[in-house]
Amino acid sequence: MPLFDLPLADLRRYTPAVAEPADFDDFWSATLAETRGHALAPVFEPVDIGLELVEVFDVTFAGWAGEPVRGWFMAPAGRPGPLPCVVQFQGYGGGRGLPHQWLYWANAGYAHLFMDTRGQGSGWSVGHTPDPAGSAPAHPGFMTRGIEDPETYYYRRVFADGVRAVEAARAHPRVDPERVAVTGVSQGGGITIAVSGLVPDVAAAMPDVPFLCDFPRAIQITPKDPYTEIVRYLTVQRDKVEAVMRTLSYFDGVSFARRAAAPALFSVGLMDMTCPPSTVYAAFNSYAGADKSIIEYPFNNHEGGGAFQEREQLNWLRARK
């Protein structure tokens, strides 16, 4: 896969003037107030899957509109806490999967809440959280569900769920609420940035090859899904361009990054055609927190650093205990 985006020197200083609506903060304040109008009601049901070193709980909490969101909560066995915690968000099309897939953080001594993504979970990893909301006509996938209006857009619900996942983790008696970090790959990285902007007192943010950033550039330069779901929608819905771009301006990771304060560790694949490097740098260079760094993988596509990045994350997070 050849390099196709801006030269590295240009990437490192690329800071686009991504427009944001004047009522961006009011929109999200109202969204979270509406979400928090429902009791969080977190439930942690113990699950015996045969593990001796990690305790597993099936999690349910109230997300957007009070609708139940599922997840897994894991903690090192015999460690009463309070523990630092990592809240993790899933990549596009995947669900929470099975708990034995997510043992890394618990084995490193952290509590770990893995959030299911509403409506997803049949692309490559199973999910268990429905998305009851309907949608006007949309392209197959999730990128254009409700896209004609920010009030109905799919990611309004997902980002609200992400904020509630942090609140659910903080509600667990074994979690130190002041030491909750957020992370995720691709879509999970985009949710990580959004949550970091909406919950500025998270302890740390670790977005890997993040999706959902710099929409205006992304939909123009990449030939890969999921961004091209929007392109294909607009090739049919020719008169919806202005409405779509207005909606996306409420959900751009660049705008959330401008509001984030937590220490942050990003990663980018310089040959990534799914989340082009310039869109990752758009969020990184706009990130308001002073303590931030990015690891570049020069010869990697959207897989980014994979296990190498997980190793980097653990070392980086341990240094911030």
- Is 153 annotated to bind a ligand? Reply is no
d(CA 280, CA 276): 7
| CB within 8 Å of 232: residues ≥ 6 apart | 139
* Catalytic residue IDs: 186, 272, 302
Q: Nearest CA to 142 among 39, 37, 26, 226?
A: 226
> Is the CB of residue 297 less than 8 Å from the CB of residue 306?
no
d(CA 257, CA 192): 10
> Is the CB of residue 317 less than 8 Å from the CB of residue 206?
yes
Return the exposure string of 85-106: e unless at least 16 CB atoms fall within 10 Å of the residue's CB, then b.
bbbbbbbbbbbbbebeebebbb
* Cα→Cα distances 26→198, 216, 240, Å: 12, 22, 24
Residues in binding site for substrate: 92
Residues in binding site: 92
